[in-house]
Structures are given as C-alpha cells and as structure tokens.
Amino acid sequence: MSKIEPWTNPQEDVVKESFENAYKLLMEEVTYEDLGNHFLLPENHEDPQVTLAYYIQVEDYEKCIKIRDKIKKIE
C-alpha cells in the first residue's frame, strides 16, 4: 500500500514563500539581488508590521520576537 501524502494548498505555499522572503530581507539575511530575478513578496513588505502580523497568525513566535526586536532598533 502506498503512503498517502498530505494535501497542501499551493496558494499557502506561495504566501509562505513570500513572507519568508520578506522576513529574510527585514532581518538583512539576504538582499534583493540574492533573491534573483523572480521572487515573491507580500504587498507592503517593507512595513515590518505586515511581516509581524503574518508570523503572529501562523504562530511562529520565535520570528515574532526577532521582528519585534528589529522594529525597536528601527524606531
């Protein structure tokens, strides 16, 4: 019997990838050039609150703390 793979929503993957890119840019882990010619970003990705709201929603609190700390440094 073959193993049944869990179904994933392709749109969720796109959203996840776009916010991961936004997070990496915010944390200065990558540059736009590092991302290449074709990459995804959420609307208003330059606003750290947008990225923070996403990671609160998906309950990735480690990233939330890092984003919060980055926001404090920016202000």
Look at residue 23 and tell me if it is in a domain: yes
3-state helix, strand, coil in the chain (%, to 5): 60, 0, 40
Look at residue 5 and tell me if it is in a domain: no
Look at residue 33 and tell me if it is in a domain: yes
Look at residue 3 and tell me if it is in a domain: no
Look at residue 59 and tell me if it is in a domain: yes
The residue whose two tokens read 């193993």 is: 3
> How many domains does one find in the chain?
1
What confidence tens digit (pLDDT) does each residue in 21-45 have? 999 999 999 999 999 999 999 999 9
- pLDDT, residue 36, reads 95
- The range of the structural domain enclosing residue 51 comes to 10-74
What confidence tens digit (pLDDT) does each residue in 44-68 have? 999 999 999 999 999 999 999 999 9
- pLDDT, residue 11, reads 87
Look at residue 66 and tell me if it is in a domain: yes
Look at residue 65 and tell me if it is in a domain: yes
Neighbours of 12 (CB within 10 A): 10
Look at residue 50 and tell me if it is in a domain: yes
